Amino acid sequence: MNETDETEEEGVSNFVRDVVRGDFSSGKTKSVVTRFPPEPNGYLHIGHAKSICLNFGIAAEFGGRCHLRFDDTNPTNEEIEYIEAIKKDVTWLGFDWGEHLYFASDNFDKLYGFAVNLIEQEKAYVCDLCPDEMREFRGTLTKPGKDSPRRNSPVDGNLDLFARMKAGEFEDGKYVLRAKIDMASGNMNMRDPVLYRILNASHPRTGDAWHIYPTYDFAHGQSDAIEGITHSICTLEFTDHRPLYDWCIENLPVPSEPHQYEFARLNLTYAVLSKRKLMQLVSENLVNGWDDPRMPTISGLRRRGIPPEAIRDFATRIGVTKSDSTVEVELLNHCVREYLNKIAQRRLGVLRPLKVVIENYPEGQTEEVGAINNPENEASGRRMVPFSKVLYIEQNDFMEDPPKKYYRLTPGKEVRFRYAYFITCQEAIKDVAGNVIELRCTYDPETKGGNSPDGRKIKGTIHWVSAEHAIDADINMYEHLFDHPNPGVEGDLIDDINPNSLTTLTGCKLEPSLANSVVGEAVQFERNGYFAVDPSSTPDHLIYNQTMAMRDSWAKIQAKDMSAGK
């Protein structure tokens, strides 16, 4: 992060920071080392962004370092594609692991040695129970488990079997290595948990070198210890796994003794933050890939045009607690709007064009009017926009028979065209079906710049684009992917998918300055919202994604009047 971002973090307190401060004050910790440990079995989502910001933020605040470590212990679900995507996402969010990029697979030899050590201490054994028997022997929350018949088998026999498992002599599932802890423990995770299982699968990094792989519970804590992690920060579902984490650390000759801390994961309305469920959406072609802008993945948010600064701000605002809760997606939207309002260049873009002919404007004349690039930043300056006889406005900026407080274009009523002139509609031209397809208007040439020399007041201001100079674009408009705030809570997740989550508008008209738009660059189409060029866009076929809608002032007035019974 840059200096500004770090300054914004100062003074922000949560229980994890309080723990770290306490460790510094007591002398327990001299240098903070955290880690972000994703499994490379899918793309990261905004819930991971919360963890990334927390781990890298704490390390930066206390002058330490944060590792990026891939817990790649399940080769059947892992791909190089996911590894590269995760690295790209962390970098895009503004964080740098420097030289501290690690993989659990880097430690396979050491982890195997640790497992052998446990066998030699008679604290681990090879078990041949099948999965159904394993469940039966494990017991229940109210009934203690039963010892495996092999629980007290000789050390030499266990060492031999474990070596043969490693050599690939057995089929998947034939044996597992289990820790010997306590089959009567009230914590099910301590009832002789599995440490290694046979998987005759090729690994993305180690190839076919291994036929056994450590479980996450075994690899995680030992990798933390090998890397010298001081504060292992996990989500709440790992709370019940902490005793096993500590047991392994206590019973193995590890080089350091990290401690695990748990915080509440992010739950967000109108979204699912589960890799399994996101994978389902992708695999069943219910979205257009992991980076579909409707997805809560970091790559999807990036493609939609949401800036990393807004995500970091969101992560700071929601805080870090030990209690599960659900955050309203509107808070994320607020962070996005607040940031983009400061930096996005303003441009004129008409999404659903309606033709306007200014009958008293000189034929063949074109002039330029000055337009503000960003009213929040004077240094952004002004630009010139062409104005001519034939223009486009939004279809919903005209009504023949408008309701009260409709301050847009209507027959006989004067409205201000942004940066240009006062315009009055004289006639609406319709097609055979009765649809308005063109407006015939007049303008007041004394009102250039949007002001009248006689001081008359105009309430309505609408945007426009010169037809002769407009460039065409397709624009993807988005709603929530799900139309239920808690998708799947009342049945099948798929039933809650919003059929209107994506609408593609073709033939949109944009001011000519947008011809050279850069992919991902934030822009505000005045009165329509924030947009970003899609990576699939070309100079000959511009495609924009809606990042965030503007709040519709007239819709808010209508809603207020309805609630007041007017």
CA 309 to CA 291: how far, in whole Å?
19
Which of these, 242, 231, 184, 208, lies nearest to 66 by C-alpha position?
231
Contacts of 533 (CB under 8 A, 6+ apart): 517, 518, 519, 520, 521, 542, 543, 544, 545
DSSP classification of residue 1: -
Catalytic annotation present for 304: no
Exactly one of 65, 197, 275, 294 is catalytic; which is it? 275
Cβ atoms of 129 and 191 within 8 Å: the answer is no
Tokens of 54: 């927390």
Exactly one of 17, 87, 123, 265 is catalytic; which is it? 265
The enclosing H or E element of 324 equals: none
CA 174 to CA 373: how far, in whole Å?
68
Which of these, 168, 153, 227, lies nearest to 200 by C-alpha position?
168
What percent of the residues of the chain are helix, what percent strand, and what percent coil, each to the nearest 5?
Answer: 35, 25, 40
Tokens of 154: 């000789």
Alpha helices by DSSP H, listed for 298-424, are: 298-304, 308-318, 329-343
What radius of gyration do the chain's Cα atoms show?
A: 31
Catalytic annotation present for 146: no
Neighbours of 384 (CB within 10 A): 12
- At 273 the three-state DSSP class reads coil
Catalytic annotation present for 400: no
List 383's β-bridge partners, or say none. 371
CA 136 to CA 225: how far, in whole Å?
34
List 178's β-bridge partners, or say none. 125, 194
- At 153 the three-state DSSP class reads coil
CA 52 to CA 93: how far, in whole Å?
9
Q: Could you write out the DSSP letters of every residue in 31-59?
A: S-EEEE---SSS--BHHHHHHHHHHHHHH
Exactly one of 8, 9, 39, 79 is catalytic; which is it? 39
First to last CA, the chain: 51
- Give the amino acid at 541: H
The enclosing H or E element of 471 equals: strand 471-478
Residues annotated as catalytic are 39, 265, 275
